[in-house]
Structure 1
Amino acid sequence: MPEQNVLIVVDMQNGVFASPRYDRSGRGERINQLIDRAGRVIFIQHAEGEMTQGSEFWQLLPELHQPESAISVTKTACDSFYRTTLDAVLKELNATRFTVCGCATDYCVDTTIKIAASKGYAVTVASDAHTTGDRTHATAQQLIGQHNEVWRELSVPGNPVMVKTTAEILADWK
């Protein structure tokens, strides 16, 4: 049986977007395109402070498509694998590869990608479907560009992280 296209959507939550994030509508539109074509969708939701599990701040953004078969994993750290069920969920799905998108590029998305690659998962990053906010020393656009470059060049022998646009990923999923 061929492996299904698994999509991990990180922290696209009301509380995360209480602060301005770069290109919310464009990123959301591309994430929805991925959601609509993925074989399985896993939503990672951060629980901390006002974003307590079940609260309005913890909820996914209302504009995101939420398939009935989607799986939700709650985390409390930047790393989506740290003390969560994500590894077990991926094993249950027989998933050795997945695509990542979401927020925040420079925190939870970055940490999740690096941990996943070092765990041996084949990771593809949707280069135009992750976002963050402006930081003290860099704009969101600069951070997104820099992280796409870093992930392309990440040294994980035998398991390079792939960085592709949403259109390229969708073409691969045909």
Structure 2
Amino acid sequence: MTGKNVLIVVDMQNGVFASPRYDRSGRAALINQLIDRAGRIIFIQHAEGEMTEGSEFWQVLPELHQPADAISVTKTACDSFYRTRLDDVLKDLDATGFTVCGCATDYCVDTTIKVAASKGYAVTVASDAHTTGDRTHATAQQLIGQHNEVWRELSVPGNPVTVKTTAEILADWA
């Protein structure tokens, strides 16, 4: 990755948080720490149903810092790369990797991480800066812990996913 410290913030939107999500304020505070120190920020925004592009539900959560030069990429699938301009944006930034955070751990964050790793991007996951909701067979906290473990052990020969806390990432960026 270049020295730009690219941060991808997935689906931290009003419409996504219309359903309860684990530790919204705590996760938003950690994401803001990353936003404030990142060189470039890319907000991934899902558009589906009531979350039409430009609508209030599509907007990024108001408590998140939104720098004037932040980039927005709209997606319509769990995969942030699927039929979007994300690959082109990363190429324009000369980014060979990025740090990722956001919502939902078990859907869009997970899919984006796995696709990015298979595409050859060096992915760092902010282990304490992603969230989801409780599901039928697992709590949000269980899903977050389980996904952090899966990502640490993900088998992508020559391109392992790195999982670190926000504090560890910020120390690396210092």
Residue 104 (str. 1) matches residue 104 (str. 2): yes
Per-residue CA deviation, residues 57-88 of structure 1 (Å, 9 max, x unaligned), is 00000000000010000000000000000000
Aligned to 1:67: 67
Question: Gaps spanning 5+ residues in structure 2: where?
Answer: none
Residue 48 (str. 1) matches residue 54 (str. 2): no
TM-score (norm 2): 0.99
Is the Cα–Cα contact under 8 Å of residues 12 and 45 in structure 1 kept in the other structure? yes
Structure 1 counterpart of 2:45, one-letter code: Q
SS for the counterpart of 1:87 is helix
Structure 1 counterpart of 2:108, one-letter code: C
Hey, what's the Cα distance between the residues in 2 that align with 1:58 and 1:136? 26
SS for the counterpart of 1:170 is helix
| Percent identical residues | 89
Cα root mean square deviation, aligned: 0.5
Runs ≥4 residues deviating over 2 A: none
Hey, what's the Cα distance between the residues in 2 that align with 1:52 and 1:77? 13
Hey, what's the Cα distance between the residues in 2 that align with 1:11 and 1:141? 18
Counterpart mapping for 1:16-165 below 5 A: 16-165=16-165
How far residue 36 of structure 1 moved from its aligned partner, in angstroms, is: 0.2
Is the Cα–Cα contact under 8 Å of residues 3 and 94 in structure 1 kept in the other structure? no
Aligned residues: 173
How far residue 3 of structure 1 moved from its aligned partner, in angstroms, is: 2.7
TM-score (norm 1): 0.99
Per-residue CA deviation, residues 114-146 of structure 1 (Å, 9 max, x unaligned), is 000000000000000000000000000000000
Hey, what's the Cα distance between the residues in 1 that align with 2:4 and 2:57? 31
Hey, what's the Cα distance between the residues in 2 that align with 1:56 and 1:95? 30
